């Protein structure tokens, strides 16, 4: 069957058909080709303005370049195709921008810079703009988790280790733990966002061309450039010193994993046979009308599984040879954008997930008794040792645990039949709700963090 003809306006463009985790998110718009084009033009215009501020270019040139640097005037698809010629989109963009500025002030476009200066600076702009969106969503998810933790501070549920029931815990403590991770991610992203620098070094990181064009203090030019864009002033040109990109890789991978922890817990606890949690509005199935799939959690979990490999690619690019690397720099562009998109989409989905999460406290309480009371065996071992002696307490509990399953009877019932335990108050000792340790005060302590 012949496929339908492509829409000329969108042919070849990535519209997110295979990216449901990020499509439609604010981060998708902030990292799209048009957003990158806008950032490249912002970087070029800011460079001319910075030079004008120091008397290295006429004010009229700065005004002309800024006026011409309108992304709507440029064909992003044509730029992408022409980027193959020089290996990056800055080269054809500079040609088009120079033409748009006109003969009189065109020579001030890109003056003294190299393509990597503009590409790296634009990447930092895209990152900052995307991270601001992510930070807002992480704050919203953290607020939703704080509400869940406070509401369910004393909602008892089974704690599970290595997939099996361990000892009782509370859903409040679990939600407080999720929030702690989300806030850790927020703090890491905020630190990195506040440190992202402009790039300005010229052909080989010496800023020599700017001196040739009359700059007496090239560091003042870098500072002016940073001020124009609201980015940090770097200590050195970082063409092959890729700390900013590595920092982005680390905080984004951590954020994906932090949100992934929330997602995988929800996935496990929302299984049909568990049903302790449910997403507020699940997704449908193409074949099974009864299903309400945990789609938000699924997409977040998918992002968490992809992020480490993308970050690894960015870390590998730290080994960038010479003063301009053939390949290491080029390798960064797509995985960094994908990381920004994935985390932006996951943060968006986390707001929806945490805000609509439904907690089945009745199911949690019911599941405490699935092991016939053995979920409190740790407590009984400690409490009965002074009464029976450590060896006898262990022997008795081991035997009664076997009988509990074999006879389908509760541990408390079997303990009550033991003559050696006459006079011991067993009801409180065998109640899972009375063995949550410091779960409540730990939850309170976690919620003090802002």
The confidence score (pLDDT) of residue 249 equals 98
The answer to whether the CB of 296 falls within 8 A of the CB of 270 is no
> If you write DSSP's letter for every residue of 217-274 in order, what string do you get?
-HHHHHHHHHHHHT-BPPSS--SS--HHHHHHHHHHHHHHHHHHHHHHHHHHHTSTTT
Query: For residues 325 and 306, what is the distance between their CA atoms, to the nearest angstrom?
Result: 26
Return the pLDDT at 347.
Answer: 98
The beta-strand segments (E) located in 355-405 are: 358-359
Q: Are 228 and 48 in contact (CB under 8 A)?
A: no
Q: How far apart are CA 448 and CA 180, in angstroms?
A: 11
Its sign, for the CA torsion 283, 284, 290, 291, is negative
Distance CA 219, CA 124 (A): 19
Nearest alpha carbon to residue 63 among 99, 108, 94: 108
Question: Helix, strand, or coil here: 278?
Answer: strand
The full length of the chain comes to 450
pLDDT at residue 397 in the model: 94
> What's the Cα-to-Cα distance from 86 to each of 34, 94, 320, rounded to whole Å?
20, 12, 19
Residues 6+ positions from 377 with CB-CB distance below 8 Å: 397, 401, 411
Which residues are known catalytic residues?
285, 324
- Segment (H or E) for 159: strand 156-161
Pure H helices in 87-170: 90-101, 115-151
The pLDDT value given to residue 357: 97
d(CA 326, CA 114): 15
Is the distance from CB of 435 to CB of 379 less than 8 angstroms?
yes
The DSSP bridge pattern shows strands 277-278 and 358-359 to be: antiparallel
Query: What is the pLDDT at residue 284?
Result: 55
d(CA 24, CA 207): 41
Q: In whole angstroms, give the CA distance from residue 233 to residue 219.
A: 9
Give the pLDDT of residue 45: 98
Contact 197, 114 (CB under 8 A): no
Per-residue model confidence as pLDDT tens for the chain (450 residues)? 334 333 444 445 678 888 899 899 999 999 999 999 999 999 999 999 999 999 999 999 999 999 999 999 999 999 999 999 999 999 999 999 999 999 999 999 999 999 999 999 999 999 999 999 999 999 999 999 999 999 999 999 999 999 999 999 999 999 999 999 999 999 999 999 999 999 999 999 999 999 999 999 999 999 999 999 999 999 999 999 999 999 999 999 999 999 999 999 999 999 999 999 999 875 554 455 555 789 999 999 999 999 999 999 999 999 999 999 999 999 999 999 999 999 999 999 999 999 999 999 999 999 999 999 999 999 999 999 999 999 999 999 999 999 999 999 999 999 999 999 998 999 999 999 999 999 999 999 999 998
Distance CA 362, CA 369 (A): 12
21 close to 45: Cβ distance less than 8 angstroms: no
* Predicted pLDDT of residue 283: 56
- Residue 276: φ, ψ to 5°: -80, -25
Residues 366, 338 contacting (CB under 8 angstroms): no
Looking at residue 270, what is its pLDDT? 97
What are the angstrom distances between the C-alpha of 273 and each of 174, 276, 367, 371? Answer: 20, 9, 11, 15
Helices (H), 152-242: 171-193, 208-212, 218-229
Report the phi/psi class of residue 230: left, alpha or beta, with left for phi > 0 and alpha for psi in -120 to 50.
left
Give the C-alpha distances (Å, rounded to integers) separating 390 from 383, 393, 394, 421: 10, 5, 6, 14
Distances from the Cα of 153 to the Cα of 104, 360, 364, 444, 450, angstroms: 69, 14, 13, 8, 18
Look at the block and give the residue holding tokens 């680390």: 250
Do the beta carbons of residue 26 and residue 348 sit within 8 Å? yes
Are 13 and 33 contacting, i.e. CB atoms less than 8 angstroms apart? yes
């Amino acid at each position: 069957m012949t496929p339908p003809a492509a829409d000329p306006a969108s042919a070849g463009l990535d519209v997110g058909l295979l990216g449901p985790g990020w499509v439609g998110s604010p981060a998708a718009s902030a990292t799209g080709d048009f957003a990158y084009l806008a950032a490249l033009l912002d970087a070029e215009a800011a460079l001319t303005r910075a030079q004008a501020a120091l008397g290295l270019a006429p004010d009229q040139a700065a005004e002309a370049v800024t006026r011409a640097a309108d992304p709507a005037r440029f064909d992003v698809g044509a730029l992408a195709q022409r980027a193959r010629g020089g290996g990056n989109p800055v080269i054809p963009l500079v040609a088009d921008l120079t033409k748009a500025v006109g003969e009189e002030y065109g020579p001030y476009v890109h003056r003294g810079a190299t393509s990597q200066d503009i590409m790296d600076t634009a990447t930092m702009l895209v990152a900052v703009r995307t991270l601001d969106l992510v930070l807002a969503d992480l704050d919203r998810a953290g607020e939703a988790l704080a509400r869940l933790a406070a509401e369910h501070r004393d909602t008892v549920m089974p704690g599970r280790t290595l997939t099996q029931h361990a000892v009782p815990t509370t859903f409040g403590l679990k939600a407080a733990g999720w929030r702690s991770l989300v806030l850790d991610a927020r703090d890491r992203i905020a630190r990195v966002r506040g440190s992202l620098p402009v790039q300005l070094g010229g052909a080989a990181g010496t800023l020599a061309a700017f001196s040739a064009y009359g700059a007496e203090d090239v560091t003042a030019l870098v500072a002016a450039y940073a001020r124009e864009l609201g980015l940090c002033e770097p200590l050195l040109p970082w063409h092959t010193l890729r700390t900013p990109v590595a920092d982005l890789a680390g905080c984004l991978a951590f954020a994906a994993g932090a949100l992934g922890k929330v997602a995988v817990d929800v996935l496990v606890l929302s299984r049909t046979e568990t049903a302790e949690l449910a997403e507020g509005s699940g997704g449908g199935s193409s074949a099974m009308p009864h299903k309400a799939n945990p789609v938000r959690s699924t997409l977040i979990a998918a992002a968490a599984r992809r992020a480490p490999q993308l970050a690894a690619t960015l870390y590998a690019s730290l080994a960038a040879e010479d003063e301009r690397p053939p390949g290491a720099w080029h390798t960064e562009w797509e995985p960094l954008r994908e990381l920004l998109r994935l985390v932006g989409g996951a943060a968006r989905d986390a707001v929806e997930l945490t805000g609509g999460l439904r907690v089945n406290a009745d199911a949690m309480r019911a599941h405490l008794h699935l092991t016939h009371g053995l979920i409190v065996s740790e407590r009984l071992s400690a409490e009965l040792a002074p009464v029976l002696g450590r060896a006898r307490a262990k022997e008795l509990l081991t035997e009664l645990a076997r009988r509990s399953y074999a006879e389908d009877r509760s541990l408390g019932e079997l303990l009550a039949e033991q003559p050696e335990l006459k006079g011991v108050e067993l009801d409180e000792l065998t109640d899972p709700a009375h063995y949550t340790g410091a779960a409540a005060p730990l939850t309170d302590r976690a919620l003090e963090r802002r």
